[in-house]
Homo-oligomer: A and B are copies of this chain.
Amino acid sequence: MSRKISSTGIERLALYYRYLTSVNGSEEAFISSEKLAKAVEHTAAQVRRDLSCFGTFGTPGRGYNRAALEAKLSGILGKEKCRNVVLVGVGNLGSALLAYKGFQSQCYTIVAAFDNDTRKIGKHLKGLEIQDIRKLSAVVSQTRAKMAIISVPADAAQGVVDALILAGIQGILNFAPTRVVVPEDIMLQHVDFSIKLDRLCYELEHA
């Protein structure tokens, strides 16, 4: 309970959680920081430090109770409360995201998809109707979604973000390769492939 979690620590918590949920059954009831660390490629001390930020629920000599830890992590991450997600921009990437079953297994469900291309609106994809972006506000309040994923072209991103915020969205995952500005109380994360490629490139160069 001693220290505030670091910002990358939060992503490690998510990794721990994913590891726990991925190994299904037929496992020991307890897992040590050492084993957990191995599984996600970090150090045992790091794991303990991260977890200790949220109380003390390991038992010396045994490790952490898997089920309890899983539940605790789910609570910390707040996964129960954020299941519904909306998607804006059903192009190449958006379609892949809609098809992705990995979100499901992590408790997230894309409950609505939007676009502004009249040729796409009304079509069905993976059991979801692509809706007119102008219905955003109504659908967001109806589904009570708090998070949105945007995969629209870079120059449309800021406009879409503004609309999402007006509609009541509080957290946005942005795939467009551009920085957007949001009020302080809105959470924003970027996923930026080409920056990662650049970084890889740099590291190759300066090996």
Contacts and interface: CB of A to CB of B under 8 A. Distances in A.
A39 B178 CA distance: 10
Given A96-B96, A194-B102, A173 B200 contact: yes
A62 interface: no
Contact of A194 (B81, B103, B170): B103
A13 B198 CA distance: 9
A171 B171 CA distance: 32
> For this complex, into which size category does the number of interface residues on chain A fall?
35 or more
Chain A binding surface, main DSSP class:
helix
Given A10-B199, A14-B195, A18-B194, A185 B204 contact: no
Contacts of A79: 198, 201
A191 B201 contact: no
Contact of A96 (B18, B92, B206): B92
The 7 closest A-B pairs by CB, nearest first: A78-B205, A14-B198, A92-B96, A171-B200, A187-B203, A96-B96, A82-B201
Given A10-B199, A93-B100, A172-B200, 14 more contacts: A11-B195, A13-B198, A15-B195, A39-B179, A40-B179, A41-B179, A41-B181, A77-B202, A78-B205, A82-B205, A106-B198, A171-B200, A173-B193, A189-B200
